[in-house]
Amino acid sequence: MQTKILLNEDRIPKQWYNIIPDMPGPLSPVIHPGTLQPVTPDDLLPLFPMGLIEQEVSQQRWIDIPDEVREIYRLWRPAPLYRAHRLEKALGTPAKIYYKYEGGSPAGSHKPNTAIPQAYYNKIFGTKRIATETGAGQWGSAMSFACQMFGLACTVYMVKVSFNQKPYRKSMMQLWGSNVIPSPSDQTNAGRAILAQFPDSNGSLGIAISEAVEDAATHEDTRYALGSVLNHVCLHQTIIGIEAKEQLAIAGDYPDVVIGCHGGGSNFAGIAFPFAADKANGKNVRLLAMEPTSCPTLTKGVYEFDYGDTAKMAPIAKMYTLGHDFMPPGIHAGGLRYHGASPLVSQLVNAGIVEAKAVAQKGCFEAAVMFSCAEGIIPAPESSHAIRGAIDEALQAKEEGKEKTILFCLSGHGQVDMTAYDAYFGGQLEDYEYPAEAIKESLAHLPKVEF
Ligand SMILES: *Cc1c(COP(=O)(O)O)cnc(C)c1O
Q: Quick: pLDDT tens for 50-91.
A: 999 999 999 999 999 999 999 999 999 999 999 999 999 999
What is the reported pLDDT for 331?
64
Domain co-membership, 438 together with 309:
yes
Cβ of 228 less than 6 Å from ligand 1: yes
- pLDDT averaged over every residue in the chain: 95
Domain housing 125? 16-65+111-231
Domain co-membership, 419 together with 270:
yes
Domain co-membership, 202 together with 118:
yes
Domain co-membership, 215 together with 243:
no
Determine, yes or no, domain membership for 213: yes
Question: How many structural domains comprise the chain?
Answer: 2
Comparing CA positions, the residue from 246, 243, 235 lying closest to residue 273 is 235
Across-strand partners of 440? none
| Chain CA centroid to CA 54, Å | 21
Domain co-membership, 88 together with 130:
no
Determine, yes or no, domain membership for 10: no
Cβ of 111 less than 6 Å from ligand 1: yes
Identify the residue whose C-alpha is closest to ligand 1 atom 2. Answer: 335
Question: What mean pLDDT comes out for the span 438-442?
Answer: 87
Domain co-membership, 349 together with 379:
yes
Q: Which atom from ligand 1 is nearest to the alpha carbon of 103? A: 13
The angle formed by the CA atoms of residues 297, 298 and 301, to the nearest 5 degrees, is: 55
Pocket test for ligand 1, best of 110, 132, 144 (most atoms within 8 A of CB): 110
d(CA 240, CA 435): 34
Comparing CA positions, the residue from 213, 210, 239 lying closest to residue 105 is 239
Pocket test for ligand 1, best of 336, 385, 409 (most atoms within 8 A of CB): 336
Supply the CATH number for residue 372's domain. Answer: 3.40.50.1100
Domain co-membership, 211 together with 283:
no
Name the phi and psi angles at 185, rounded to 5. -120, 170
What is the reported pLDDT for 204?
83
What is the reported pLDDT for 103?
98
Domain co-membership, 395 together with 259:
yes
Domain co-membership, 21 together with 94:
no
Pocket test for ligand 1, best of 173, 266, 288 (most atoms within 8 A of CB): 266
Q: What is the pLDDT of residues 190-231, one digit of tens each?
A: 999 999 999 998 888 888 998 999 999 999 999 999 999 999
Q: How far is the CA of 267 from the centre of ligand 1 (A)?
A: 6
Indicate if the pLDDT at residue 328 is higher than 80: no
| Beta-carbon count within 10 A of 77 CB | 23
Domain co-membership, 140 together with 280:
no
| Beta-carbon count within 10 A of 402 CB | 12
Domain co-membership, 292 together with 160:
no
Determine, yes or no, domain membership for 449: no
d(CA 88, CA 321): 36
Comparing CA positions, the residue from 208, 194, 114 lying closest to residue 158 is 208
How many residues are there in the chain?
Answer: 451
Q: How far is the CA of 316 from the centre of ligand 1 (A)?
A: 22
Q: Which atom from ligand 1 is nearest to the alpha carbon of 265? A: 8
Question: What mean pLDDT comes out for the span 325-342?
Answer: 78
> Is the Cα torsion angle 394, 399, 400, 402 positive or negative in sign?
positive
Comparing CA positions, the residue from 401, 411, 407 lying closest to residue 287 is 407
Cβ of 102 less than 6 Å from ligand 1: no
Name the phi and psi angles at 48, rounded to 5. -130, 150
Cβ of 380 less than 6 Å from ligand 1: yes
Contact 268, 410 (CB under 8 A): no
Comparing CA positions, the residue from 56, 77, 71, 81 lying closest to residue 5 is 81
Distances in Å between the alpha carbon of 142 and those of 145, 181, 233? Answer: 5, 16, 13
What is the reported pLDDT for 76?
98
Cβ of 135 less than 6 Å from ligand 1: no
| Beta-carbon count within 10 A of 449 CB | 17
Question: What mean pLDDT comes out for the span 154-167?
Answer: 92
Comparing CA positions, the residue from 262, 299, 133, 128 lying closest to residue 210 is 133
Indicate if the pLDDT at residue 170 is higher than 90: yes
Cβ of 297 less than 6 Å from ligand 1: no
Comparing CA positions, the residue from 203, 344, 349 lying closest to residue 289 is 349
d(CA 100, CA 194): 41
Among 213, 231, 249, where does a domain finish? 231
What would the DSSP string read from start to end of 109-159? Answer: BSTHHHHHHHHHHHHHHT--EEEEEESSSHHHHHHHHHHHHHT-EEEEEEE
Cβ of 266 less than 6 Å from ligand 1: yes
Indicate if the pLDDT at residue 335 is higher than 80: no
Q: Is 225 exposed, middle or buried (0-12, 13-18, 19+ CB in 10 A)?
A: buried
Among 214, 231, 248, where does a domain finish? 231
| Beta-carbon count within 10 A of 154 CB | 25
What is the reported pLDDT for 330?
65
Comparing CA positions, the residue from 146, 18, 156, 22 lying closest to residue 73 is 146
Determine, yes or no, domain membership for 182: yes
Cis peptide before 315 (omega within 30 of 0): no
